[in-house]
Amino acid sequence: MSAARVPGYAELLTAADAPVLQVRGDWTLAHYRPLAEQVEGLRTRLGAGIRIDTEGLGALDTAGARLLHSLLGGERLAALAADAGALSGERRALLRAVAAAMETAVAEPAPPAGSAIGDVLEHVGIAMLTFRQHVVALAGFIGITLESGLRMLLQPRRWRPTALAANLERTALDAVPIVALLTFLVGAVVAFLGATVLANFGASIFTVDLVAYSFLREFGVLLTAIIVAGRTASAFTAQIGSMRANEEIDAIRVLGLDPIDLLVLPRVLALLLALPMLTFVAMVSGIVGGMLVCAVKLDISPVMFLSVVQNNVGLSHFLVGIAKAPIFAFLIAVIGCLEGFRVSGSAQSVGEHTTSAVVQSIFIVIVVDAVAALFCMEMEW
């Protein structure tokens, strides 16, 4: 078998004058794995006065030259490349190129040693920066939306009643069944828990006040806003995000139209009208659910239930609850539209920003509701 067909290998021989390293066979990528194992075993055994015999060297490529550099080191490889009698000109040029590339290669710096506390603080800092970016972007988008809305208000020709009606149907009419059913069940649960606890104190009649207060002030608008945040904000983000991914928004701008006027304002106005109506439905459904439980468990008739509500629950509680609805509606719609405009162009981005819209909407609704509750408590409303 000729030398060109022999798999590459290296062998260290002992001679009278100096040890000899014989390099034989093909040093190519096809034989890289066994050659690398041999190189690893021989590298530490090569002394200072060793001679290198390359007479039986077969084929050589860059992978083999890289292994020779690892075996011999930079100085020995440079001496071998300079010896015109040992190798041909092409192979010496290849060895010089590989040696130069290996010498100029910059080792990657080792990652700095971190600590658990440092990692936690780093994540906290990144989260705070991300939160700041979201707040700034939301504030800017709210300003753009209000500016466009006021400008359009003075120009009736630019009103889009068809888009408003279509969005109003999707956000209000189609959401009535789920809002009514959910709040009815929650009202029943609240009345059941109130009746169970208050019966121990002989105050079962106050279950009526509990249901009325909770749904008029908090549960009605809060549950409705959470449902709308999960149902409508995600729809707004997916719709606008898909348009952005398909470059339809760019086409709208090319046509000389404003995407805010065309896509955002009809959705915001529709939700501003829809959420107060849905909140009223939720209040009624929750109270009806509580009324049913009171009638079955406490023998409080619907007439007596409504009489207690009329005598003990003032109109101010209803006004406090219904006043929150437009605020929640505006924030939910703006967040949903903003996340749609932030889609980068892929289906994965649409899904990520849809999830982000729902999470942000629910978060801001709960935060604003808590702040409003504290404010109303301090104002004694």
Number of structural domains the chain divides into: 2
pTM for this predicted structure: 0.67
Q: Based on the fold, state whether residues 90 and 214 are members of the same structural domain.
A: no
Phi, psi of 69 (to 5 degrees): -65, -40
Q: What are the distances in angstroms from CA 329 to CA 35, 124, 176, 222, 246? A: 70, 30, 15, 11, 28
SS3 21: strand
pLDDT value for 113: 63
Q: What are the distances in angstroms from CA 245 to CA 231, 242, 346? A: 21, 5, 6
Provide the terminal-to-terminal Cα distance of the chain, rounded to the nearest Å: 101
Q: For residues 188 and 293, is the Cβ–Cβ distance under 8 A?
A: yes
Which tokens in the block code for residue 354?
């849809």
Residue 321 placed within a domain: yes
Q: What are the pLDDT tens digits along the chain (381 aa)?
A: 344 467 777 777 776 667 777 777 787 877 788 888 887 877 777 766 777 777 777 788 888 788 877 777 777 777 777 776 667 778 778 878 887 887 765 555 666 666 788 888 888 999 899 889 888 988 998 998 898 888 888 888 888 888 889 888 888 888 999 999 999 999 999 998 888 888 888 788 888 888 998 999 889 999 999 999 988 999 999 888 888 888 888 888 888 888 888 888 999 999 999 999 999 999 999 999 999 988 888 888 889 888 888 888 888 889 998 999 999 999 999 999 998 888 887 788 888 888 989 998 999 999 999 999 888 888 877
Residue 268 placed within a domain: yes
Return the closest-CA partner of residue 338 out of 356, 326, 351. 356
Q: Based on the fold, state whether residues 206 and 233 are members of the same structural domain.
A: yes
Residues 141-156, buried b or exposed e (16+ Cβ, 10 A)? Answer: beeebeebeeebeeee
SS3 48: coil
Return the closest-CA partner of residue 184 out of 284, 305, 277. 284
> Of 76, 104, 132, which residue is a domain's last?
104
Q: Based on the fold, state whether residues 172 and 85 are members of the same structural domain.
A: no
pLDDT value for 348: 83
pLDDT single digits (tens) 307-336 = 888 888 888 889 998 999 999 999 999 999
Domain limits at 291? Answer: 122-379
pLDDT value for 152: 86
Q: Based on the fold, state whether residues 228 and 320 are members of the same structural domain.
A: yes
Q: Based on the fold, state whether residues 313 and 375 are members of the same structural domain.
A: yes
Question: What DSSP state is assigned to residue 215?
Answer: I
Pairing of strands 20-27, 51-53: parallel
Q: Report which residue type is found at 255.
A: L
Residue 113 placed within a domain: no
pLDDT value for 65: 81
Q: Based on the fold, state whether residues 303 and 352 are members of the same structural domain.
A: yes
| Cα(13)–Cα(22) distance, integer angstroms | 7
Question: What DSSP state is assigned to residue 108?
Answer: P
Residue 111 placed within a domain: no
Q: Based on the fold, state whether residues 134 and 270 are members of the same structural domain.
A: yes
pLDDT value for 1: 39
Within 10 A of 255 (CB to CB), how many other CB atoms are there? Answer: 8
